[in-house]
Homo-oligomer: A and B are copies of this chain.
């Protein structure tokens, strides 16, 4: 795919999408997802890995709540990756990731992921370009392992928000009592590094593209949820899964 220029990529829904109509379509899509997950689990043939990346306040948590509540909690696991612990840092950067690769039949969601190790680390000059390049190769090899050796469907989403929308949401965390627990003054410092973050992401999309990225315009939550839900639904439908018969 052609190089992605994030500052030339819209953070809003394409014009043809109407908010009310799109929202009205969601319940039926969630029902489809629920049914598809049921067969995925019963059949136990494919694994699904959903990678969510995006800047602070791009809406990863809300997406998880609204899209993935639609499926049976027994068949889905959400793993959030934070700053690595001392134990994690004493291993290669994929060690803590591999542990949570999805088993066949399961949907695994990564709220942040191994991509932090070539994004935040580059923005803060914790690794040089040579190390970044080696890590990107390791990531490609790792994703290939999951795809070819465990029938894993990997869907990678980058939640793309505008600077204005991001600031608006970070401000809400100061004023809205139900959101204050999410407030971290450091988020504003990171947000100021927007240019550096977008550059690191663009480089990542260019070099870690054996598994496709979906850039999700995320200023409007309804469209973000619609795009992720339909992308997942379509990927699951393509598998033509069947309920297995009685196991011998």
**Residues of B contacting A44 with CB < 8 Å?**
181
Complex Cα distance A72/B183, Å? 20
Q: B78, A74: Cβ atoms under 8 Å?
A: yes
A180 to B43, CA, bound (A): 10
Report the minimal beta-carbon distance from A50 to chain B, rounded to whole angstroms: 11
Inter-subunit contact B74/A76 (CB<8 Å): no
Q: Which of A61, A64, A246 has the most CB of B within 10 A?
A: A246
Nearest residue (CB) in B for A67 is B73
Enumerate A37-79 residues with CB–CB distance to B below 8 Å: 38, 42-44, 61, 64-65, 68-74, 76-78
Answer whether A247 and B181 are a contact pair too, CB < 8 Å, given A69-B69, A69-B70, A71-B69.
yes
Once bound together, how far apart are the Cα atoms of A68 and B174, in whole Å? 31
In the assembled complex, A10 has its CB within 8 A of some CB on chain B: no
> Which B residues are in CB contact (< 8 Å) with A243?
177-178, 180-181
Contact A43 B246 (CB under 8 A): no
Since A69-B73, A181-B243 are in contact, a sample of 13 more A-B pairs with Cβ atoms closer than 8 Å, ordered by chain A residue number, is A42-B181, A64-B74, A65-B73, A68-B73, A69-B69, A69-B72, A71-B73, A73-B73, A74-B111, A177-B245, A178-B243, A180-B246, A183-B246
